[in-house]
Structure 1
Amino acid sequence: MTDRAPTSVEALEQLQLVMEAAPNAMLVANSRGEIVVANAEACRSFGYTSHELLVLKVDDLVPAASRGHHAELRDRFFDEPQRRGMGAGRDLHGVRKDGSAIPVEIGLNPILIAGETHVLASIIDITERLYEQTAAEDSRRAALVRSILTTLPMSVIATDQDGLILSANPATERMLGYGPGELVGRNLSEVDGIERRRSVSGTAAATDIAHPAERVYRRRDGETLPVDEEVVILRDEQGDERGYLAVAYDITQRIQSRERVQHMLRHDPLTDLPNRLELLSQLNRILEQATYDGTQAALLLLDLDHFKRVNDTLGHDVGDDLLQQVAQRLMRWVRADDIVARLGGDEFVIVLTGLAPDVDLSLRLASLRGLLLAPITVRGYEMAVTASVGGATFPIDGRSAATLLRHADAAMYRAKASGRDTLQWFDDSMVEEFNEKLELSGALRQALGDGELFVVYQPQYSLHDGCLTGFEALARWKSPTFGLVSPDRFIPVAEDSGLILTLGEWVVRQASKDIVRLQHQLGIPLQVAVNMSPRQLRGRNWLAQILAALNDAGLQPSQLALEITEGILLEDQRDVIEALKALREEGIKVVVDDFGRGYSSLAYLTRFPVDKIKIDRFFIEPIGVDPDAGPVVDAIIAIAHALNMEVVAEGVETAEQETYLREHGCDQVQGFRYSEGVSAAEAAAAPLLMPQLI
């Protein structure tokens, strides 16, 4: 019997039987896309009956948007039929009868039926698989989130819309001192150290949403800690609010660092006392309270006397230690509500608070003076400390912090001018004095440009031969407003206002020109002495200005003598030594003026390059009247000569004074006995010999 080939129908029937045994949906389609065989699983998967499927094309089971692409793939497959494994062409979808889409994987196999190539499509609905994959991915994400929250060093608290805590990570529990899960079910208000400002909806958790802010949390033990917190809204898939997430971390160190910086900005680094900024802030609060309760306050401004001498002789380290010990003494002296501050340098401020009206502070201030005068030992050096103190009271002397400071400062300068180591209370005359100085300063500035200033010359004579040796140049000012202003008034004003530099240069220039003319008129070489302010020595260009003035006038440097005060030698030693050396190197003479009135310390003369000292008129005046006056003058002359210095006596008015000075070795004299200060024209008529020797 001969085997015959099965007919097309038989082949399809046999294929149907085989496909029914398959666990997944299977379809057979021809090259035109017509479904010729479909198993029961295919009918179930796509929601059709077998009859319904067999009148459809494969395109009917593909989403409309993908049908054109599917047709191209089908044509390509039939052009080169070959097996394609499951999953080839991912992200495929089929369309069920009800229009719903199902994710599928498809495997293709070419088969011959009655000599015609067909395609056998094996289709797997992967809906369940994708669901499981999504669930697994969600589980992995949740585990990752839990892992992150567990290891995250910052606090994370999730709440519902009413602020009820739904979860809190371990960092939150550690930071706030709670055990695992103990925060869940509590309200966020229990965590807040300060009541949280509520949102419009009344929800406590919603404050400052999406805006980081510094807040205070409360630990379980009641202690508080500062945190930086950001609150964000939790929304569901529809965008509706479902709760809040508060993320925070402990900023204790940041706050401490910030407080340290603020403290540094408002306190003196050496003594840790309040500085000027902090003093003004505290003082304003004190004055407000005093106004409210009717009490008074007193502000004392202390300036240590001759403190610069400590820095210059013993070094700044010793000076710093001294300031620290003084600060400690002042802190021990004041009461708890009082203030001690350091304004800088050697200036301290004490504010006495809560004073009864008309209180007598004499005993308290006497104890302060006693405290300061007690010897202080610094690095082996025993020192006695004194201070010039200016005081002002609230509300009598001022109602603002700035006014009280200004008035106390004026009183302190009055204390310095009164000989230091004393206390002066502010009075209105100080304001008048200040206003007068202000007016004089403006007028002096104008006078320098308007030619109101002039120079007078007082002759100096040698006691050895009676000859005229030169003149002292003295600045004078005749103001159209103030009249003839004495140097005692306008020189301090010039120093305080900075005009002394301009004034000093002008005097040197004018005197140099006049002395050159006087030399020509008198026919003898002359020296000129000019007073020099400490402020001039501290200027940068003072030496160049002096040399330029001499050069322009044609006067030799050796013919100029600059007179400095005795106090300069003690207050600015290192700077002054360099300045005096520079003068001497140029040939300019250095004279110590008014010697004996300041510190009366001849020992300082051994340390400075000085050519001549001028005995103050205070010691000359009693000669011939007071027998005790002579020995002091004798000592000054003897020691000066021992140091190779010349001696000039000023203020000589009588023959007895002149004779005594000549007999005891004084070198030169000047005073009203010979001439008062006169103009350059009048100086040209000065006798070349002392009047009694003519």
Structure 2
Amino acid sequence: MKTRAKGLAVRRTILDAVPFSVIVTDVRGRIRDVNPAAIDLLGYDADELLGAPLTAIDGIERARYHDGTPVLVEVTGDDAEWVYRRRDGTLAPVQESVVPLEDTETGEPGFLVVAYDITHRLEARQRVEHLVTHDSLTNLPNRTLLVRHLERALERASAEDSQFALVLLDLDHFKRVNDSLGHHIGDELILVVAERLLAWTRSGDLVARAGGDEFVMVLHDIRPGPELDRRLEQLMVDVLAPVIVHGYELVVTGSVGGTCFPVDGADPVTLLKHADIAMYQAKGAGRNVLRWFEPWMVEENDGRLALSAALRQALEVGELSLAYQPQIDLATGEVVGIEALVRWMSPVLGPVPPDQFIPVAEDGGLIVPLGGWVLRTACQGLARIQEELGQPLRLAVNVSPRQLRGSAWLEEVAAAVVAAGIEPSQLEVEITEGLLLEDRGDVVDMLDALRSIGVTIVVDDFGRGYSSLAYLTRFPIDKIKIDRSFIQEITRADTDAAIVDAIIVMAHALGMTVVAEGVETEVQERYLRERGCDEVQGYRYSPGVPADTLPMVARALSRQQSS
């Protein structure tokens, strides 16, 4: 008897000392005993729990209970997450294990229910889940949660026979903000746009950050049409209004692509893909516009992807070549320079025009390797041409804005010049007028660095972007090329080509050389000579020709001028 009593005392001591909640029930699930840890966890007094059914402390209905009677024998050995309800009504998440028990006093079977609080575990799990499903900068849902939301939205819309719109907003030229002002400025801009989008959308809609400068909105219970178009046009006004960040006023624009369920797709992947295609159509249309997805866009997009893949292969296997168009000094009639023009003859696609594959190279990340190949090949070509011709020439090479970012390209220029054995002063880098409008500090630094080694800076297609000549005073510019569209307007000797006249006069006043491209007729040449234009190029003199043909063309042009 003493041994038994001693055993019961030891069991009681152990039960009281265990930090886990321990509840003893009879076979029907009525509580027969509890330890102090269970009382602390649940907030009840012991006498309030004794005799009560185990279901009294359950925070959720147990599937293993039937008509209030526990079938604990069926779950013996289970170790699972559960929820208890405390005396004050709050919930306590627990990890619970049920063990069969035979009472040594009565011999009646029962159960031992052991549990411990897992609140911290669930909080940690929720934090991890939040990190996985939310953008770390804006705290908006990321693409993972966006897809989950779309799956639920598709189910609901299908069941209710309703529609919703998926709208993708991509900030235009966002990378330039990061490159020129720093990532901290870019992050602040993203935060402002995120806040504005949340303020613009309704409470039931979703705003997600899909990555980088891309935001996605899911607009529920809405039909496509003029009203939705007006709402989105207002979005572009409200959300993309100028932003002041750390003293910088940033003029923000965005390209918007939209799709609607069910007409544009029946699953998240298709809807997102079509919205992305529509957004790139908006960028191709000049940016800062809205485009809704249309089926024909898929074929065009697939064509661009195929062209991009073919161009990548063309670079690898040597399908590209260069043609050289001579530039003539109007005062002497001599060939003084050449412009390198890239050509692509595909064995599958045939001749592909530059205005088709250059934009594809820009969008597909190929413009830097393509530009590097053109630079190296053109410098080598110039060395061969002037050796055969017996006179030095200048070489003009078009450069993408992407090539001007960072110091790598400056090193590439220097290496190409040295490898070809030409002088840096013979190289002319042609930039687009759009760079002047962007007024980027990093571009100015690169252009200054190029000039410091002797390279000439030329603004190509000047006048097409309608920029002010005042921009020229803020950039290290040596020469400008008048866009061919203005030259084509010179049709008669008495033509009043006011823009051409103004460009020539003002550029000379700034100490710059002026080149007219696209010259095709004698009338155009005479007009430009009388206005003091310095150099010309165009089909009147020669189209672009291979390097081995250029010396013969140059000699013929010189004989023609001398005669």
Closer, same or farther: CA 371–609 of 1 in aligned 2, 3 Å: same
Correspondence for 1:220 among 69, 76, 87: 87
Cα-to-partner distance string for 1:365-387 (whole Å, 9 max, x where unaligned): 23323323545444555554332
Closer, same or farther: CA 308–553 of 1 in aligned 2, 3 Å: closer
Report deviation, 1:305.
2.7
Contact 1:562 1:588 in 2 (8 A): yes
Closer, same or farther: CA 449–175 of 1 in aligned 2, 3 Å: closer
2:267 is aligned with 1:397: no
2:276 is aligned with 1:276: no
Correspondence for 1:331 among 198, 203, 215: 198
Contact 1:308 1:572 in 2 (8 A): no
- Tell which deviates more after alignment, 370-379 or 257-266: 370-379
Question: Could you say which residue in structure 1 is the equivalent of 2:17?
Answer: 148
- AA matched with 1:484: P
Question: Could you say which residue in structure 2 is the equivalent of 1:163?
Answer: 29
Gaps of 5+ in 1: 1-130
Closer, same or farther: CA 359–420 of 1 in aligned 2, 3 Å: closer
Name the CA distance, whole Å, in 2 between partners of 1:631 and 1:324: 47
Question: Could you say which residue in structure 2 is the equivalent of 1:230?
Answer: 97
Report deviation, 1:443.
3.4
2:250 is aligned with 1:417: no
SS of residue paired to 1:680 = coil
Correspondence for 2:55 among 161, 165, 189: 189
Closer, same or farther: CA 356–453 of 1 in aligned 2, 3 Å: closer
Report deviation, 1:426.
1.7
Correspondence for 1:441 among 308, 312, 318: 308
2:163 is aligned with 1:293: no
2:500 is aligned with 1:633: no
2:216 is aligned with 1:352: no
SS of residue paired to 1:182 = helix
Name the CA distance, whole Å, in 2 between partners of 1:296 and 1:690: 73
Correspondence for 2:43 among 163, 177, 189: 177
Contact 1:468 1:690 in 2 (8 A): no
SS of residue paired to 1:322 = helix
Report deviation, 1:608.
5.2
Question: Could you say which residue in structure 1 is the equivalent of 2:110?
Answer: 243
Contact 2:394 2:426 in 1 (8 A): yes
- Tell which deviates more after alignment, 552-561 or 598-607: 598-607
Closer, same or farther: CA 690–582 of 1 in aligned 2, 3 Å: farther
Counterparts of 1:474-485 in structure 2, within 5 Å, are: 474-485=341-352
Closer, same or farther: CA 356–561 of 1 in aligned 2, 3 Å: closer
Name the CA distance, whole Å, in 2 between partners of 1:489 and 1:498: 15
Closer, same or farther: CA 359–504 of 1 in aligned 2, 3 Å: closer
SS of residue paired to 2:265 = coil
SS of residue paired to 2:47 = coil
Contact 1:275 1:341 in 2 (8 A): yes
Question: Could you say which residue in structure 2 is the equivalent of 1:82?
Answer: none
Report deviation, 1:526.
1.0
Q: Please give the TM-score of this superposition, normalised by the length of structure 2.
A: 0.86
Aligned residues: 556
Question: Could you say which residue in structure 2 is the equivalent of 1:362?
Answer: 229
Name the CA distance, whole Å, in 1 between partners of 2:154 and 2:285: 30
Q: Please give the TM-score of this superposition, normalised by the length of structure 1.
A: 0.71
Gaps of 5+ in 2: none
Report deviation, 1:502.
4.3
Closer, same or farther: CA 578–249 of 1 in aligned 2, 3 Å: farther
2:421 is aligned with 1:554: yes
- AA matched with 2:483: D
Question: Could you say which residue in structure 2 is the equivalent of 1:388?
Answer: 255
Counterparts of 1:527-546 in structure 2, within 5 Å, are: 527-537=394-404, 542=409, 546=413
Contact 1:312 1:573 in 2 (8 A): no
SS of residue paired to 1:432 = helix
Name the CA distance, whole Å, in 1 between partners of 2:296 and 2:256: 17
Report deviation, 1:332.
2.2
Report deviation, 1:248.
2.0
- AA matched with 2:159: Y
2:152 is aligned with 1:321: no
Counterparts of 1:648-659 in structure 2, within 5 Å, are: 648-655=515-522, 657-658=524-525
SS of residue paired to 1:673 = coil
Closer, same or farther: CA 608–195 of 1 in aligned 2, 3 Å: same
SS of residue paired to 2:149 = helix
Contact 2:22 2:34 in 1 (8 A): yes
Contact 1:622 1:629 in 2 (8 A): no
Closer, same or farther: CA 383–493 of 1 in aligned 2, 3 Å: closer
Name the CA distance, whole Å, in 1 between partners of 2:261 and 2:12: 70
- AA matched with 1:193: G
Closer, same or farther: CA 507–206 of 1 in aligned 2, 3 Å: same
Cα-to-partner distance string for 1:337-391 (whole Å, 9 max, x where unaligned): 2221111222111122223476852332233233235454445555543321111
Report deviation, 1:664.
5.3
SS of residue paired to 2:49 = coil
Report deviation, 1:298.
1.7
Please report the RMSD computed on the Cα atoms of aligned residues, expressed in angstroms.
Answer: 3.5
Contact 2:80 2:97 in 1 (8 A): yes
From the CA coordinates, give the structure whose radius of gyration is larger.
Answer: 1
- Tell which deviates more after alignment, 413-422 or 474-483: 474-483
* Identical pairs, percent: 54
Name the CA distance, whole Å, in 1 between partners of 2:186 and 2:63: 53
Closer, same or farther: CA 223–206 of 1 in aligned 2, 3 Å: farther
Question: Could you say which residue in structure 2 is the equivalent of 1:675?
Answer: 542
Closer, same or farther: CA 496–319 of 1 in aligned 2, 3 Å: closer
- AA matched with 1:259: Q
Name the CA distance, whole Å, in 1 between partners of 2:8 and 2:296: 88
- Tell which deviates more after alignment, 244-253 or 546-555: 546-555
SS of residue paired to 1:460 = strand
Higher relative contact order (CA 8 A, sep 6+): 2
Question: Could you say which residue in structure 1 is the equivalent of 2:325?
Answer: 458
Name the CA distance, whole Å, in 2 between partners of 1:495 and 1:375: 27
Report deviation, 1:464.
4.8
Contact 1:233 1:241 in 2 (8 A): no
